[in-house]
Structure 1
Amino acid sequence: MNVGPILAVDDEPLNLDALRQVLSRDHRLVYARNGQEALAAALAHHPALILLDIQMPDMDGYSTCLALKRNPATAHIPVIFVTSMADVWDEAKGFECGAVDYIVKPITPATTRARVKTHLSLVQASQLEQSYHDAISMLGKAGHYNDNDTGVHIWRMASYARELALAIGWSAEACRDLELAAPMHDTGKIGIPGEILRKPGKLNGEEWEIMKTHTRIGYDILRMSHSPVFEMAAEVALRHHEKWDGSGYPDGLSGEGIPESARIVAIADVFDALMVRRPYKEPWPVERVVAFMREGSGTHFDPRLIDNFLAILPKIMNLKENWDVFEVTHGATEPG
């Protein structure tokens, strides 16, 4: 994965040359001789890492680091102080300013290369994580590309699913995975003709059979990855329309034969769909939605999960209020 250059900042040319000799064989470097030049270079070159001297005239390293962290365009760039000031107080102050590490002059090649390698690895890991989240967002949005306007439905219901999973004792990591997996539950709709997805009236028998294939289409797309999130997403895509009493699709699974992830998402998905306005319906009042969910307990929904969901309903409604504010502020888009 490509990353930006390393920005070396020092008012002494000999110190910049020392960094060049140690790092230029393996890394692309750009240079600045003072704090103002460093701020400009960070904006111009988008460095992956900044090696920053502290003792500079006019604008010292601490002030430069603080300025970098105040600017949203540069705040994410890790800063390593490179300085002869080695006492504990200065080190603590450096970390308070936002630095991630500290190298003492005179630099040694082995230490400098090791520190740089470590922090560039973290940068690459962060970029990979961002790409991962971007892929999830795109797949979630793709599933509803030809659907009627659903606003932030997939992100909102994912937050409900996470809250329900937490309430029944899932680990924090598993809850996070479910929140990432849930927005992809309808990925398979990308394979359903738009005229069926956008049909204002009830689907006929042939159209309904086509619609039901979205579960297997989504599964076939998502199962190509062996990461835990995508494995869960494939499971949810395939099984979120199964019903507790076995009357669902695609395979008529029942009870605990349905993966718990899919049982959770089914509740979150239906609850949110009923609570919001759609082109073909007005939002239901919460009392009517709760009555519907209770009525479906033991037939459509897992009774234990319904009981837990209704027990945390105040938290769910608080999430909905937050999402309503987000949708008004940002429009029908995914969170950044």
Structure 2
Amino acid sequence: MITPSSPSARILAADDDHSALRVLDRILARGGFGEVRTTTDGTRVEALFREFRPDMVLLDLHMGAIQAPEVIRRLRALIPPEEHVPILVVSGDLSDESRLAVLSEGAADFINKPYSAGEVMLRVRNHLQTRLLHTAVREQNRTLEARVRERTEALERTAGEVLERLARAAELRDDDTGLHTRRVAELAGDLARAMGLPDGQVQALRLAATLHDIGKIGIPDSVLLKPGRLTPEEWEVMKSHTVIGARILAEGSSEVVRLAEHIARSHHERWDGGGYPMGLAGTDIPLPARIVALADVYDALTSDRPYRAAWSVPRVLEEIRSLRGTHFDPAVVDAFMDAVVPSLHAREAA
């Protein structure tokens, strides 16, 4: 570890006065600093900085063709925002104007010429100590951030597992395998990605979609498990699973639960306004619900039900095409046909 007097601390010193630079080099050597790179050419400071990666720069105010403020500006562009590399300006003519010029570019301190060995070592060690503390705090912050990320990811995994098991508990009431919610969630995620949603939203939608039928918990078995067609009265009861689901998920604090609430309420709405429970139409229906609506219908029609056998995939695709612009959002259908269906075929072939 670098300490304020460590010989491993790297110092870059630049001064166009050869004799003054030799004096500074000897002072630093006597102070225990063996990693010192020097130059009398101001135009080489930037290249040496890139190569040497110093812990500190000592820079003469007047460097011939290039002045200290310009050199500092270029060096600051090379230093990452989270890193602290002190730049100390040395000069025998530190007027107020000169001080303001270099301070405005990011100089950390000044050292007067002719050099006082005591002053040089005191300022160098103080600023190396500042860099050391800054680096230690930065590393500690990185460690803490990594721990927070790990714990957050663990909590998210736990929350996701709880939501998935809750969805499976509801699904098992009318699906012995409990796989419908998983298939709908996977298909909805594929559709969301095909429509260009960011990865974070895709993952949130995939998890939220598992809860689209959570409201079925509140539907009586006599209706939910009836093998034949429902009466008009029973159908009204069945439709209420959307409202029940939204009520169960209402006022959630997480993005996923809030998203799941919208999906549970609106995944049976239709593009033409003929759906339920609110009769929403077009883009008034939340996009996640429009996506899940298609995924839900596709999986339902390609799966066996107590009252009918599964449809063939070609028949289901033709049905979905026929419902483009009436039941389903045209953009969702297009994304499904163009991007998702080919991947489904590829999986089946594999």
TM normalised by structure 2 equals 0.56
Per-residue Cα deviation, 1:34-88 (whole angstroms, up to 9, x for no partner): xxxxxxxxxxxxxxxxxxxxxxxxxxxxxxxxxxxxxxxxxxxxxxxxxxxxxxx
Aligned to 2:77: none
1:264 equivalent among 281, 291, 302: 291
CA contact (8 A) 1:148 1:198 kept: no
Q: What corresponds to 1:85 in structure 2?
A: none
**Which secondary structure state, in structure 2, belongs to the residue aligned with residue 185 of structure 1?**
coil
**Structure 2: how far apart are the matches of 1:226 and 1:179?**
18
Distance (whole Å) between structure 1 residues aligned to residue 193 and residue 288 of structure 2 = 12
Counterpart CA distance in 2 for 1:290 and 1:118 is 47
Which residue pairs with 1:310 in the alignment? 337
**In structure 1, distance between residues paired with 2:191 and 2:246:** 23
Structure 1 residues 112, 271: closer, same or farther in 2, change over 3 A?
closer
CA distance in 1, matches of 2:348, 2:307: 21
Give deviations 1:76-119, integer Å, cap 9, x for gaps: xxxxxxxxxxxxxxxxxxxxxxxxxxxxxxxxxx9999998776
1:232-258 CA-partner distances (Å, limit 9, x unpaired) = 100000000000111100011111111
Q: Which residue of 2 aligns with 1:20?
A: none
Q: Distance in 2 between matches of 1:176 and 1:204?
A: 38
How many residues are paired up? 214
How far apart, CA to CA, are the structure 1 residues paired with 2:166 and 2:240?
17
Which residue in 2 is equivalent to 1:138?
165
Which has the higher mean CA deviation after the structures are superposed, 191-200 or 145-154? 145-154
- CA gap of 1:319–1:277, structure 2 versus 1, over 3 A, is farther
Letter in 2 for 1:198: L
The one-letter code sitting in structure 2 at the alignment partner of 1:195 is S
Q: Aligned pair in 2 of structure 1 residues 112, 209: CA closer, same or farther (>3 Å)?
A: same
Larger radius of gyration: 2
Shift of 1:162: 1.0
Residue in 2 aligned with 1:246? 273
- Where in structure 2 are there 5+ consecutive unaligned residues? 1-136
Task: List aligned pairs for 1:145-224, cutoff 5 A.
Answer: 145-149=172-176, 151-224=178-251
Taking structure 1 as reference, are residues 218 and 319 closer, same or farther at Cα in structure 2, changes over 3 Å only? farther
The CA RMSD measured in Å over matched residues stands at 2.5
| 1:231 matched to 2:255 | no
CA contact (8 A) 1:148 1:279 kept: no
Looking at structure 2, the residues matched to 123 and 251 of structure 1 have their Cα atoms a distance apart, in angstroms, of 41
Q: For 2:254 and 2:306, how far apart are their aligned partners in 1?
A: 36
User: Which TM-score applies when normalising by structure 1?
Assistant: 0.58
Change (3 A) 1:295 1:115: closer
Amino acid corresponding to residue 163 of structure 2 in structure 1: I
- In structure 2, the CA distance between the partners of 1:241 and 1:120, relative to structure 1 (3 Å rule), is same
Pairing partner for 2:313 from 286, 296, 303: 286
Q: Relative CO higher for 1 or 2, CA cutoff 8 Å, sep ≥ 6?
A: 1
Cα pair 2:290 2:329 within 8 Å, conserved: yes
8 Å CA contact retained: 2:171, 2:181: no
* Structure 1 unpaired stretches of 5+: 1-109, 323-336
Q: In 2, Cα distance between the equivalents of 1:308 and 1:115? A: 41
For the residue of structure 1 that corresponds to 2:168, the secondary structure is helix
Q: Is the 8 A contact 2:171 2:178 kept in 1?
A: no
- Following TM superposition, the consecutive aligned residue runs of length 4 or more in structure 1 with deviations greater than 6 angstroms are 110-119
For the structure 1 residues 320 and 253, does the alpha-carbon distance in structure 2 shift closer, same or farther, using more than 3 Å as the test? farther
